[in-house]
A and B are shown apart, each in its own frame.
Chain A
Amino acid sequence: MQRRVVFNNRILPYFLLLPQLVITIVFFFWPASQAIYQSVLKQDPFGLRTTFVYLENFSTVLSDPLYIESIQVTIVFSISVTVFVMTLALLFAVMADRQIRGAQTYKTLLLWPYALAPAVAAVLWMFIFHPAIGVFGKTLNNAGLKWDYQLNGAQALLLVVVASSWKQIAHNFLFFLAGLQSIPTAVVEAAMIDGAGGWKLFRAILLPLISPTTFYLITINLVFAFFDTFGVIHALTHGGPGRSTTTLMYKVYMDGYVNLNLGQSAAQSVILMLIVSVLVWMQFRFVEGKVHYT
């Protein structure tokens, strides 16, 4: 049974909603509508010549093999980041959830990376992995391993995946830890009395009970990988070498900001918006049914 609070005043709720609505309209609806409007135009950077081109920008973008390439890069990148982040974060959370000495310090240290801006994180990673001046990159090369992310596409992708994940692990760790700690001790103890040991306990009790958290984190991580990793890619690889780290988001930036092709850049934004809407919808439609809410 849910308790409902009923307002007699009809205006008040709207009034209370007003600040949030204003923010949403100014920072979301208005720019989003601008992007949609721009996506059907062909325009020079200064806005001196404007032609309405219907959906030409969309057809150009979608028939561009480079765009398809970026989709592939994005898929590999997002899935890698999500899997990498969640596996490690869960591992750390399970470890930290146990009674260990210095748990508090451990938790605090794990949260630090989250405080960094992605670009700053990327610069730190460059100091470590730059093939010529990075501490670790140099060591690898001296040891005879050919490490050069500026010229090796696979290594570049690996580096941006790891650098992006490193930052996001902290956030995931926090949620997993909270999820684990909210599991009633009684349930865990009951399972132990029934003879469930480490792995079995984890698989049969803990994992299902934190499934809402897991579900939420998958969505958040995918969105993070899609949109929030621009700083890391920009600072580390500029989308290269070749086009091996040009994700959809980075392509939007390149086409809009560097190449000043506003129409096609806006069209890509709109496509991105649709892709992610579908993604989120699919997760709720097909995955959520299996999620156990407490």
Chain B
Amino acid sequence: MKRTILFALILLAVLFVACAPAPTPAPTAAPPTAAPKPTDAPKPTTAPAEPTAAPKPTEAPKPTTAAPAPTATAAPRPTIPAGRVAVEFWFGLGKPLGDVLEAVVMDFNKSQTKYYVDAIYKGAYVDTMNAAIAAYRAGKAPHIVQMFEVGTATMMAAKGAIKPVYQLSKETGVVLDPKIYIPAVRGYYSEGENMISMPLNSSTPMMYYNIDAFKKAGLDPTKPPKTWTEVRAAAKKLVDSGATKCGFTFEWPTWTQLENFSALHNVPLATKTNGMMGMDAELKFNSDLHIRHLQTLMDMAKEGSFKYGGRDGAATVLFPSGECGIIHASSAARARIKSESKFEWGVTFLPYYDDVPGAPINSIIGGASLWVMNSPGRTADEYKAIAEFFAYISKPEVDARWHQETGYLPITHGGNDKTKADGFYQKNPGADLPYQQLTRTQPTENSLGLRLGDMPQIRIIVYEEWEKAFQGQQTAKQAMDNAVKRGNDVLRAFEKLYK
């Protein structure tokens, strides 16, 4: 009797855990830092590892209920004024960048008498994405959802679930002219001339360097390294002289060292304009140049001038802590580096191999955009409200403020011009370099952006293969070949799903 009951109980408990749906991610694996991190969130992410200053609430947002998800501070959200057409906007930008976003939304609401945008924080990008998907399946999708750029292919393939921005503009009569947006940003989220989602936060990777350490190592901080040869020499000198423990590192490994590396050197990441021209794209990043670059990094790791700091944004902390003298990090990491570094630092363009003809050309963006979601029972008024909100965030003054307060790139020409006119770049030297790097050449088919199915999964595959290479378990060529092979399997599965 006792046995049977005990058995039944344990079995039941076990079954229960086994069959529970995939767990929601626990609070983030943020690399710990003492100070709050103003701008870790900007980079698109495959993992919910967006270190925010305030701890995230442990309970995951319930996707299917309409109940407001608690934000970190759990401040009561303002009630929706009577008589207004309200639309829900789910975002995945942690504090303090999320605060700026909420302020923008609040200003929009103040400027309005008819429409109201209800901004709700839904956790990191990947959580927001899952929440939106679950809500869509339950027929309760939010009107607007913020989605990281590597989710673009998934969203575009979800015809019926989303309403493209150009259609929204046509149906509501609210003008959202593609020409006012910066091409390098707009192109990422467009099909041909048609904008599919609304750009919001875009960043591009830059090279930051520790001026104090440069001086200590006898390097000239006014002439930061430009090429990979120079970066390697400088990193080695930093370590050899004892100025820093680690010479060089990078955050978002694939974004900085693969996706942007390919763009800068004008080599394809994948066929079909990096997937933008069709789902049948094939990965091409096992070229000689790609292998050579991984080999350089492996050699640098061996000689001690480069330190792999982990996946996603895990390595960011190594720069402001003074551990590494040079880092490749998002332009939106600027605010964090500014507030946490106890030394003088500079920012410059990403390096390149100078024997590659034509290099360097423009870099590509990361970040997120806003998607309009369909759901049963949407009214024309609600779509109008969405369109009005999009038009509002595209205004020069709103965009300029967004750019200046967050460190993200301006998304419109107007916002860029306004920032210049404000004299912002005189007061913040180097803050205009990301824009320059992004727009210094006309984008080619290799530097327009990328749109690959299940890109978050492909990024993880590259992490895995690179980590094995850095551990000495395989050669650079094996790592790149394996990553391409496994990545292509992912792309074929994605293609098959939508056929």
Contact = CB atoms under 8 A, between A and B. Distances in A.
Interface of A: 2, 24, 27-28, 31-32, 34-35, 42, 44-49, 117-120, 122-123, 126-127, 130, 132-133, 150-153, 216, 219, 223, 226-228, 230-231, 234-236, 238, 240-243, 249, 252-254, 256-261, 265, 269-270, 272-273, 276-277, 280-281, 284, 288, 293
B318 A227 contact: no
A243 B464 contact: yes
B346 interface: no
B309 interface: yes
For the complex of A and B, list the 6 residue pairs with the smallest distance between their C-beta atoms, beginning with the closest.
Answer: A119-B26, A32-B19, A273-B18, A256-B22, A241-B467, A231-B26
Nearest to A119: B26
Contacts of A228: 17
Contact of A240 (B6, B13, B137, B311): B311
A150 B46 contact: no
B472 to A, nearest CB: 10
Interface stretch (B156-164, B185-193, B280-288, B379-387): B156-164
A201 B337 CA distance: 62
Contacts of B310: 150
A34 to B, nearest CB: 8
A139 to B, nearest CB: 14
B85 interface: no
Most B CB within 10 A of own CB, among A44, A219, A230, A260: A260
Interface string B439-478: 0000000000000001011001001110110110100000
A5 B26 CA distance: 46
B158 A254 contact: no
Given A28-B16, A132-B318, A227-B17, A242 B473 contact: yes
B133 A277 contact: no
B18 A257 contact: no
15 contacts: A44-B158, A46-B133, A48-B160, A117-B58, A126-B31, A127-B32, A133-B32, A133-B317, A223-B17, A240-B311, A240-B463, A241-B471, A242-B467, A242-B468, A261-B454
A258 B32 contact: no
B323 A132 contact: yes
Report, as a range, how many residues of chain B touch the other chain. 35 or more
Interface of B: 1-3, 6-7, 10-33, 46-47, 49, 58, 126, 130, 133, 136-137, 154, 157-161, 246, 307-312, 314, 317-318, 321, 323, 454, 456-457, 460, 463-465, 467-468, 470-471, 473, 490, 493, 497-498
Nearest to B27: A119
A259 to B, nearest CB: 4
A288 B464 CA distance: 41
A152 B158 CA distance: 39
Contacts of A254: 460
Nearest to B157: A44
